[in-house]
Amino acid sequence: MGKDKLRRFAEVATFKNVVQLDAGKDFKGQWAKDFFGNNQPIVLELACGKGEYTVNLAKLFPDINFIGVDFKGNRIWRGAKTALEEGIHNVGFLRIQIESILEHFAENEVAEIWITFPDPQPQDSREKKRLTSPRFMQKYKIILQDDGIMHLKTDNDEFYAYTLEQIAAGKMPITKETTDLYASALVDDVLSIKTYYEKKYLADDKNINYVQWQFPQQG
């Protein structure tokens, strides 16, 4: 590991807006009250990378709490440092493996989940690691509120098609959907937030897929 990555790992451990590994379990069910000190809704960005979406959503919606979730501390460092430097108090970061999300968030604790440009895990043998695979979907359903919203942005057409198949199989209602976001009428201040990777894809004239969906209501 390079010296710069080591420095970031060490520095991120001192950030008050970053919670790492098992420490996040202490906030389960109480993120709004105990971490943010309020009763505002909780929104997650999974596989947040450098946290561009987390930070920019927090700027747009100061009355909502945003948490970026990723395992790579040297990437989280960028978003967390920006939030601290700019005094953005409704944003935090959680460094965990997303597989353990049920250990860190309680049932019905989360209002929305964003998945922005995740690793598509294209090999068939790695399907279970795709963030929209059935095993992950089941976890999201548990922590989301009954009217909770899911979002996916991806440049990978195959992963997008796979996700739509999972949504259809689960009979989940789609509320918004496009295979070319920036040529659609859907783009707005929220959907036009661009991550580091999205900027690279757009520079290569890659289309951006977006879908918003919910889980079926019980009863």
Instruction: Chunk the chain into consecutive blocks of 10 residues (it has 219) and report each block's average pLDDT, rounded to whole numbers.
Output: 79 94 97 98 96 97 98 91 97 97 98 96 94 98 96 97 98 97 97 92 95 86
Reported residue count of the chain is: 219
Give the pair of three-digit tokens for residue 46. Answer: 């999974």
- DSSP SS3 for 136: helix
Query: What's this model's pTM, rounded to 2 decimal places?
Result: 0.95
**Residue positions annotated with a catalytic role:** 119
Phi and psi, residue 77, nearest 5°: -50, -45
Contact 55, 82 (CB under 8 A): yes
Helix axes 73-86, 52-60, angle to 10 degrees: 30
Q: Say what the pLDDT of residue 3 is.
A: 75
Q: Say what the pLDDT of residue 74 is.
A: 85
Amino acid at 12: V
3-213: CATH topology is: Rossmann fold (3.40.50)
Residue 70, Ramachandran bin (φ over 0: left; ψ between -120 and 50: alpha; else beta): beta
Q: Say what the pLDDT of residue 1 is.
A: 56
Contact 91, 18 (CB under 8 A): no
- Domains of the chain, by residue range, sit at 3-213
Q: Say what the pLDDT of residue 77 is.
A: 94
Determine the straight-line distance between the first and last CA of the chain, rounded to whole angstroms: 51
Closest residue by Cα to residue 113 from 65, 174, 64, 46: 46
